[in-house]
Chain A
Amino acid sequence: MLTAKPAFFSWDHFPFRAPPELSGGPCTDTDVIVAGAGPVGLTLALSMAQQGLRVLLLEARDCVSESSRTLAVARRSVQILDRLGVIEPFKRLAITRERNYLYFGDRVIHSAPYEQSPTEKHPDISVLQQPWTEKILLDAVLAHPLVELRWLNSVVGVSGAESERPRVRVSTPQGEYEVAAKYVVAADGARGSVRRSMNLPYQEIADGVVQRNFVICDFEMKSALPVARRLWVNPPHRPGSAVILHKQPFDTWRLDYSLHDDEDLEEAMRPGNVERMIAAQLKLLDDPTAESSWRLVWISAYRPMSRSLASYRVGRVFFAGDAAHQTPIFGGRGMNQGMLDAANLAWKLAYVLRGVADPRLLDTYDQERRPVIVRNLHDVAQATLCMTATTKGAAIMRKAAFDLLPTEPFVRKLVDAFNANRSESLLTPPPTEGPEVGAVVGSPLPDAPVRVAASGQDQFLHDALHRHGLTWLYFIGADPAAAEAMTSLRIATQASELSRWVSVAAVPLAAADLLDEQGVAFDKLRVQAGTCLLVRPDAYVAARLQQPSPSELKIAWRAALGATE
C-alpha cells in the first residue's frame, strides 16, 4: 500500500480502447500474443517487433507496475536493454551499486565491492526502480508500429495450446472476446491466468524454501552513504531476523525484514510499526550524513517462493518470468531471470516464424532455461536458509558459518544470496566458467574493450554483435594467415541478413574490423589467432571452433538454429 506519494516516479494511466473483436469485427491477425506488459512482456514484445514480428500485447492494468518492486538490474539485463536500443534513458536514471555489507548482529562480518571491471561496458548491478525500467521499455514499444498494446485487456484463459493457433480469451471493461495467434507467451506473473486456465501447477524447488513472511517498504531519506546493499542477520533489535537495506535512486531506500512465525502480518504492516522498524534500523546504521527526517511511502509483504513449472512450453504456449518460475527476491534474480527468458525466447520465435530456423529450435527454450532456473533456486535457497534459520539445526549451522566467515572465504556463498553461485551456463551439467576459461560454449560472451579499426573509436565487443542475428567472431590476432583464412570463410559462407562477420586483430591488419592492441579481449576470452566463436542474438556462445573449415561452420550454424542432424 502507498502511504504517501512517492517522489521517484509519476504514473501515466492509459485509456481503454475497445478492440474490433468486441464489436464482432475481424479477429486481429498477429504473429504472437504476449500476455502481460511487465518488464518481461515488454522485452519480448519489443525484441520480436524489432525482428519483424507482429505482436499483440495484452495488459490487465492501465499503467506500469505500481510500486518500486525490482531494484537490482543485473549486467545481463542491461546488456539486453542495450541490444534493444534503450540503454541511454536507462543509464541516465540508474545508479551503480558499489558495495555489499554483511552484518551479524551489529558487526560487519564481510564487505566487498561489486565488480566494476573496466573490461565490462556495464556494471555488475545497476539500481533503478522497476516502473522506470518498464517505462523505458514501454516508450520504445509504443513507438514501434508492429506492437499493438491493449490496456485493461486481461487474459483470462488460453485454449488450444496444441493446435496451430491457440486461442486467448480476454476480459475488458466492455466485455470479453477471443483472439488467436501462431504462438502465445504468458508473461502474466505468478498469479497469471494463462497458467491457471491450463491447470499447470508450480513445482516447489529446493529444501531450503522458507515459509516465512517478509515486510518490505520504501522510505525517502537524503543521505550521502554510498550505494550499497546491507544485510543484517540477527540484528540486536530483531534477533533471529534478517534485514536488508538498499539505496535506490531519487533518495529512496528499500528495507525488508523477516517476521517471526508468531508475528501477525497485518499488525506488522501497520505504518506505525514499520516506522518503528525503520527508526531502529537507521539507529543501527548510524549514518551521520542522513537527514533526521524521512518519509515512509510504501509498505507491502511477501513470502520467498521457490517454484517452477515442469515445462516452460506447452504446445504453442510459452511461459516466461514469474509466470514460469518464482524466485526468492534475495539475490536479485526474479526480474533478471525473466529478462533472460525473454532474450532466449524472442529470437527463437522470430527465426522460426520467419522460416529461417527449424521449429525444433523452440524446444531449446525450455531445455536451456529451466535447468538454469532450478539451479539458481537451489543456490539461493541455501542463503535464504542462513538468513532466516527457522530450525535449531539451521541456527547451529548458521552460527558455525558466521563464526568462520571472517577467516574462511568458502563460507561466503553459504550465507548471502548475492554471493551464491551464479552460473549462467545453459548446459546441464554446467561446465567450468570463469576468467580461467574465457568464452565457453553455452555461456554468455564475456565483454572486452576494443577499438573500431576503421574509425579508431573505442567500444566494446558486445557493441559489435548483430543485435538480432548470429555473429561470427573471428580472432585473427597478428597472423596474416589467420586473416586470409577468415576472408576465405567469409566468402564461402552465404551472406545473410541474419549473420554478421566480425574480425578481431591484435595489430592493424587489412581484414580487421576491431583492434585489441592491448590483448584484453584475447586474454579475457582465452582465444588465439584462428579462434572462431558463433554468438547467438542473446549473446550466448553457440560454438567455439579453432581454424574451422566451411563445413564445420555450416554444422555449427545449423546446430545453433535447432537442426539436430
Chain B
Amino acid sequence: MTQASINDRLAATPQPDSTYLERSFQGLVRALDDLPETESRDFLARLALILAEEMRDADRFIDAVQRAKSAQPQEAK
C-alpha cells in the first residue's frame, strides 16, 4: 500500500455495521441534545407514535408500553 492510497483510505473509511441498538441509542442522544429540555417529553411521545405506526402491531406495541411502564426508576442515591 502506498502513501497516496493510504490518504485516500483515510478520507473514505467505511463505517462498520454498528448494531441497530447502538445506532438507535446514539441517534436519540443526538436528537435530545438538539432539542430544548422542555421539548424532550413531547418529542419522545411523537417518536413513540411514529414507531407504533412502523411496528403496525398493536399487541407488540402495548406489550412494549407495559415493559417501559414497569421499569423502576433507578434513582442514584
Chains A and B come from one and the same complex: yes
Contact A394 B21, beta carbon cutoff 8 Å: no
9 contacts between A and B (CB under 8 A): A235-B76, A310-B6, A310-B7, A313-B1, A314-B3, A382-B22, A392-B32, A396-B32, A407-B71
- Report A394-438 CB contacts with B as 1/0, cut-off 8 Å: 101101011111111010011000000100000011000000000
CB-contact partner of B71 in A107, A200, A406, A413, under 8 A = A406
Spell out B's residues near A (CB within 8 Å).
1-3, 6-7, 9-10, 13, 15-19, 21-22, 25-26, 28-34, 37, 40, 67-68, 70-77
Contact A378 B18, beta carbon cutoff 8 Å: yes
CB distance from B9 to the nearest CB of A (A): 4
CB-contact partner of B1 in A201, A366, A429, under 8 A = A366
CB-contact partner of A408 in B2, B19, B37, B67, under 8 A = B67
- Report A357-391 CB contacts with B as 1/0, cut-off 8 Å: 00000010010000100110011001001000001
CB distance from A284 to the nearest CB of B (A): 11
Give A366 to B9 CA distance when docked, in angstroms.
12
Residues of chain A within 8 A (CB-CB) of B1 are 311, 313-315, 363, 366
Task: Using A162-B2, A207-B26, A385-B29 as known contacts, say yes or no to A403 and B10 having CB atoms under 8 A apart.
Answer: no
Residues of chain A within 8 A (CB-CB) of B34 are 393
Contact B21 A403, beta carbon cutoff 8 Å: no
Give A458 to B41 CA distance when docked, in angstroms.
61
Residues of chain A within 8 A (CB-CB) of B21 are 410, 413-414
Residues of chain B within 8 A (CB-CB) of A104 are 74, 76
Please give 6 more A-B residue pairs, beta carbons under 8 A apart, in addition to A315-B2, A382-B26. Answer: A104-B76, A311-B6, A392-B32, A392-B33, A401-B25, A403-B71
**Top 5 nearest A-B pairs by Cβ distance?**
A393-B32, A105-B76, A393-B33, A310-B10, A393-B29
Give A510 to B72 CA distance when docked, in angstroms.
62
With an 8 A cutoff between CB atoms, is A203 at the interface? yes
With an 8 A cutoff between CB atoms, is A485 at the interface? no
Query: Nearest CB to that of A371 among chain B residues?
Result: B16
Give A162 to B5 CA distance when docked, in angstroms.
13
Give A410 to B16 CA distance when docked, in angstroms.
21
Give the one of B1, B7, B73, B77 with max A CB within 10 A: B1
Task: Using A207-B26, A371-B16 as known contacts, say yes or no to A396 and B76 having CB atoms under 8 A apart.
Answer: no
Residues of chain A within 8 A (CB-CB) of B13 are 203, 310, 374
Residues of chain B within 8 A (CB-CB) of A203 are 10, 13
Residues of chain B within 8 A (CB-CB) of A366 are 1
With an 8 A cutoff between CB atoms, is A239 at the interface? yes
Spell out A's residues near B (CB within 8 Å).
104-107, 109, 162, 200-201, 203, 207-208, 234-236, 239, 310-311, 313-315, 363, 366, 371, 374-375, 378-379, 382, 385, 391-394, 396-397, 399, 401-408, 410, 413-414, 421, 428-429
Contact B3 A403, beta carbon cutoff 8 Å: no
Residues of chain B within 8 A (CB-CB) of A401 are 25
Contact B74 A402, beta carbon cutoff 8 Å: yes
Contact B25 A382, beta carbon cutoff 8 Å: yes
Contact A378 B16, beta carbon cutoff 8 Å: yes
CB distance from B7 to the nearest CB of A (A): 8
Give A310 to B1 CA distance when docked, in angstroms.
11
Residues of chain B within 8 A (CB-CB) of A236 are 76-77
Give A379 to B40 CA distance when docked, in angstroms.
27
Contact A404 B71, beta carbon cutoff 8 Å: yes
Query: Nearest CB to that of B75 among chain A residues?
Result: A105
Contact A234 B76, beta carbon cutoff 8 Å: yes
Residues of chain B within 8 A (CB-CB) of A410 are 21
Contact A428 B32, beta carbon cutoff 8 Å: no
Residues of chain A within 8 A (CB-CB) of B7 are 310
Query: Nearest CB to that of B18 among chain A residues?
Result: A378
Query: Nearest CB to that of B40 among chain A residues?
Result: A396
Residues of chain B within 8 A (CB-CB) of A394 are 29, 33
Give A311 to B26 CA distance when docked, in angstroms.
27
CB distance from B48 to the nearest CB of A (A): 12
Contact A397 B3, beta carbon cutoff 8 Å: no
Contact A399 B25, beta carbon cutoff 8 Å: no
Give A421 to B18 CA distance when docked, in angstroms.
10
Give A7 to B35 CA distance when docked, in angstroms.
52
Contact B19 A421, beta carbon cutoff 8 Å: yes
Contact A239 B76, beta carbon cutoff 8 Å: yes
Residues of chain B within 8 A (CB-CB) of A385 are 25-26, 29
Give A336 to B21 CA distance when docked, in angstroms.
26
Residues of chain B within 8 A (CB-CB) of A239 are 76
Query: Nearest CB to that of B11 among chain A residues?
Result: A310
Query: Nearest CB to that of B35 among chain A residues?
Result: A393
Query: Nearest CB to that of A312 among chain B residues?
Result: B1
Residues of chain B within 8 A (CB-CB) of A315 are 1-2
CB-contact partner of B22 in A234, A310, A378, A393, under 8 A = A378
Residues of chain B within 8 A (CB-CB) of A428 are 16
CB distance from B35 to the nearest CB of A (A): 8
Give A407 to B18 CA distance when docked, in angstroms.
24
Query: Nearest CB to that of B16 among chain A residues?
Result: A375
CB distance from B64 to the nearest CB of A (A): 10
Contact B16 A109, beta carbon cutoff 8 Å: no
Give A421 to B20 CA distance when docked, in angstroms.
12
Give the one of A397, A402, A403, A429 with max B CB within 10 A: A397
Residues of chain B within 8 A (CB-CB) of A396 are 32, 40
Contact B25 A109, beta carbon cutoff 8 Å: no
Contact B67 A429, beta carbon cutoff 8 Å: no
Residues of chain A within 8 A (CB-CB) of B74 are 104-105, 107, 109, 399, 402-403, 405-406
Give A99 to B19 CA distance when docked, in angstroms.
26
Give A429 to B9 CA distance when docked, in angstroms.
18
Residues of chain B within 8 A (CB-CB) of A106 are 76-77
